Structure formats: C-alpha cells, structure tokens
Structure 1
C-alpha cells in the first residue's frame, strides 16, 4: 500500500478491479490449494467479513484432512483487513483457506487482463464509469 500526499493507493491504477468473486463460507467450508489463474492482473486484493480466518501459502500445500492443510506460511485474515496478493505470493506459491470455524464472507477484487477477455465479452455499461475511491 502506498501513501501519496493526500490519499492511500491500495492497488495501482492499471490494476483497478473489473471483476470480483464473493465467497460465502459455512462452518467447515474451505478453498483448496491453488494459484489464481494468470488471466487476472497482479496485484489484486481480498477483504474478509463477519469472522477471522487464516490463509496458507507454500510452494506445496498438503491436504491432511477435510478442510485441513499444511503449508509453511500462515497469515491471519482479520475482519475488514485487506490482503494484497502479488509477486511470488500469488505467482509461484499456492494458497488456500482452511475450513472456516464460523460463518464468514470474503470478497476478492481482481482485474482481468483485457488481452485475455472472452471473445465477444461486453462489460456492464454501468461499471464503465467507475473511478477509484479516494480516501
């Protein structure tokens, strides 16, 4: 995150999101180990709501049971925090979300690379005029 003279910049201008995914977790729900597809520009961010959970990172993440994983780096995701995913943390290392202990929601904001858009894709006209929010 970068601070300029009068505002915070969470994502660079060329990464302003044009898509998002909303994950709704019930007790025990998880996200298995993965690397986000490279049609999405780095960096991107995720914001957790309702309850805290952790995210695991490692080059290899091992499944040790339903919703249980082992990786070398575990980062707490606090409610209303913002996790920026970029560099090796998203291009080389896998990540996963272990089974939720409580109901939770996360929203991940990403920008799809315009050169990799589906043929004939037309963005929602109401979204074309969105501008970055200045804090």
Structure 2
C-alpha cells in the first residue's frame, strides 16, 4: 500500500508496536467510550460528531476526547473526560518503545472512529500541540498520504500534491515530528475500506498549557468570589431577619 516518493523528514513508523491483546483492550476501550458518548454519559463535550455537511459527504469521524477538546482542528476550553489508566499505560508503552521521551509524554488523546468510506482532507494538526505527536492504528489496516500544496502556474488556489503514502497496519504507531508535522507538509486519509479506530496522542505546547492553567485559575477565582458573595448575602438576610424579630 506504500507509494514511492520522498517522505518528509521527521516521519517515523513503528510497525507491530502493540501486540494483539494490547490492541484488543484498546479497541474495547474505544468502543465503550464511543457508546457512552453517544448515550450522553461522558463529561462535558468529550463526545463529538462531525458537522452535518461533513458527514453528508463522508468526511470526518466520530471522536471522543480525553484531556482536552479539539474540534475542527481548534483547541477549545470545554470540559472533557480526564485520561483513564489504560491511556496512561499506553503512554508508558510508547515511551518504552522510544516514540516519546519522558518530557514529551502526551497529556491528551483523541479517539477517532472511522466508518467505512470515511476520509480526511489534507491538513496539519493544530499548532497548539507540541511536536512530536503520534497516531496509534487499531482494528483494521489503512494508509495515510503526505504531500504539499503547490501554487498553480497562473495564480489561484494552491493544489495539494501527494508525495508519498504509508501503510498503517493495526498495531502500528506513526510518529510525526519536525517538517512532517507541518506546516509545509500536510497529511490526509483516503476513504476507509473498513471500519477503523485510531488514537491521536498529543501534548499541549507550552503556550497552550499556560493559557489553560490561567483559565483554570481564573475560573477557580471566580467560583470563590461567587461563593463569598452568596455567603455575604446569606449573612445579610439572617441579620435582617434578626432585626425584624427584635423589632
């Protein structure tokens, strides 16, 4: 399934990294998370469907987010499920295999569930995430294409041209770093021949982490201020009732 062509620098494919039991456990986890998301049993905005106009043409997939929410390739501040132990164990396995260093350990996962025929257009993952990041392939084999946008000779919109294609076997892990992670190189998924699950493991960049922490601190401060106002109002009401009783 691989095509000849120059692959971008920083791209590394770890074949057969996960054995069959590990794959089965992760697929079971992903399917359970998807079912709970469809039933409205997950926190906040953890579960996401593709926009209706995307779904109508087969673009996109259902997703379940852990650690942070990414929608239409944008990092959002909505609450989502925390990372469960099975994903922390996956991160440890990825570290042991050399996919990540200790300082690069992911802090979020997007569970992607692609139905037969689903595809993704050429894109670059949000720069809110640090590099490297990786994709774990599960359930069925597929492929990913890498290419660049070439300006047409007489102006107009740039044209995406695929330069190479890699097979993503179930149990493999694709690591993107440096030029392969963008912005000049893009990656895309052609229509899936079979249902497939993938886990995109990423770590928020320093700026995004600082902004998220600042937002959390601001929210906590606002909550404390609301609590203080409620307590003050309650004390004021009690004082008025006592005065009325004494009068």
Task: Identify the match of residue 24 of structure 1 among 106, 113, 123.
Answer: 113
Unaligned runs of 5+ in 1: 2-6, 62-68, 123-135
Hey, which of these two has a bigger chunk of helix by percent? Answer: 2
- Kindly name which structure, 1 or 2, has the bigger radius of gyration based on alpha carbons: 2
User: Which 4+ runs in 1 deviate beyond 6 A?
Assistant: none
Hey, which of these two has a bigger chunk of strand by percent? Answer: 1
Q: Quick one: distance in 1 between partners of 2:111 and 2:140? A: 15
Structure 1 residue aligned with 2:165: 74
2:203 maps to 1:111: yes
Structure 1 residue aligned with 2:45: none
Q: Secondary structure at the match of 2:207?
A: helix
Structure 1 residue aligned with 2:135: 46
Q: Secondary structure at the match of 1:47?
A: strand
Structure 1 residue aligned with 2:189: 97
Give the C-alpha shift of residue 10 in structure 1. Answer: 1.6
Unaligned runs of 5+ in 2: 1-11, 13-95, 151-159, 218-247
Give the C-alpha shift of residue 60 in structure 1. Answer: 2.4
TM (norm. structure 2) is 0.41
TM (norm. structure 1) is 0.73
CA contact (8 A) 2:141 2:168 kept: yes
Deviates more, 1:99-108 or 1:11-20: 11-20
Q: Quick one: distance in 2 between partners of 1:106 and 1:87? A: 21
Size of the aligned set, in residue pairs, is 110
